[in-house]
Amino acid sequence: MKVEFYKHSLGEKEKEAVLAALDSLFLSTGPRTEEFEERFASYLNVKHCVGTSSGTAALFLALAAWGIGAGDEVVVPAMTFIASSNVALHLGAGVVFCDVDRETALIDPDMVEGILKKDKQGKVKAVMPVHLYGQMVDMKALRSIADRYGVKVLEDCAHCIEGERDGVRPGQVGDAGAFSFYATKNMTSGEGGALVCSDEKLAEKVRVLRLHGMSRSAADRYAKYQHWDMEELGYKANMGDLQAAILLPQMERLEELWQRRNAIALEYEEAFSRGGVDFPKTLPGVKHARHLFTIWAPEGCRDRLLEALQAEGIGCTVNYRAVHLRKYYAEKFGYKKGDYPAAEKIGKRTISIPLYPRLTNDEIGFVKDTIIKLCGESAY
């Protein structure tokens, strides 16, 4: 049996929405983008949403809007995608990695506080919690710590549209939250992203920065031409109406699709718990967005297990290996093995397996049975 790692859930409504957008006046940032921004902000119960070209762009624009740059530092978990830390480097800021919880792979608020305590010169200007795989960081604890030390909190919510923890949704407690609509995300436009916040000044600044620093967009100038000015040095990082057109119909199905992914994930958890397969802990009382389901291979066997799964026809990948040991970071900044042991251990064992609504029951059973069989064989 062949089981793809991922298949999207786009259908006729998305096709119709794109065709309607193609027949309209605006292909770039216009009324559909504005409608999506309003609906996404309402869904998350935040005041503002700014559509961007990617989740990475959303992270970058938030830091840029806060004026973070040379001489500043941003705290980032060592277990995440490279985009989380890269955006700080692109602005000339430094990255301070933080280790993660061994059971959940989430950034540890106590370790963050330890870093801030040692920051006697006040270089750290922001902390970037990553809601990895779809499970939220303890944002109430992290917010309290950040407030005591006077630093911004930028939530990387790329995996966590539908999540909730302690009555808090993604993007509600941080100073801003960045979302990704990349091809494999729970809600996708192929490429795209958004920044959400409750700070009107931040939202307006990001709107200007995402379009070269211009005071007026093309849509603003359409009905009656108005001169625009360049208010500051900006970037090209806006969402277009074609992307928004794909996203809008998906807003109606977010909960339905989440329920299917959650049911599959619960089935995986029950089977793997019985079959002796390790996986990250899902905390009680948390609504896990179920973006990714990862298992932890027996120590020293991850790459062999990857090959064996692929040989059986099961699509899989690795999310992620510890950032500080990637070639660029290790060579440029001198990071070495042992610097962030929990992130390194997880990075050596983790495998992401198929988790998407279009999986059939036969495919789910095949994935479960194959993983339990392979992990239990003496070769592993």
> Which residues are marked as active site?
185
- Is residue 51 within 8 Å of residue 36, measured between CB atoms? yes
Q: Which residue pairs, CB below 8 angstroms and at least 24 apart, start in 15-19?
A: 17/245, 17/246, 17/248, 17/249, 18/242, 18/245, 18/246
Alpha-carbon Rg for the chain in angstroms: 21
Nearest to 159 by CA among 285, 14, 293, 263: 293
Q: Which residue is associated with the tokens 């999506």?
A: 36
Nearest to 175 by CA among 258, 74, 261: 74
The Cα 115–Cα 83 span in angstroms is 21
Paired with 49 in beta bridges are: 196
Nearest to 133 by CA among 111, 88, 100, 166: 100
The Cα 27–Cα 239 span in angstroms is 10
The sign one gets for the Cα dihedral 211, 248, 153, 131 is negative
Q: Which residue is associated with the tokens 């959400």?
A: 196
The Cα 258–Cα 256 span in angstroms is 5
- Is residue 324 within 8 Å of residue 97, measured between CB atoms? yes
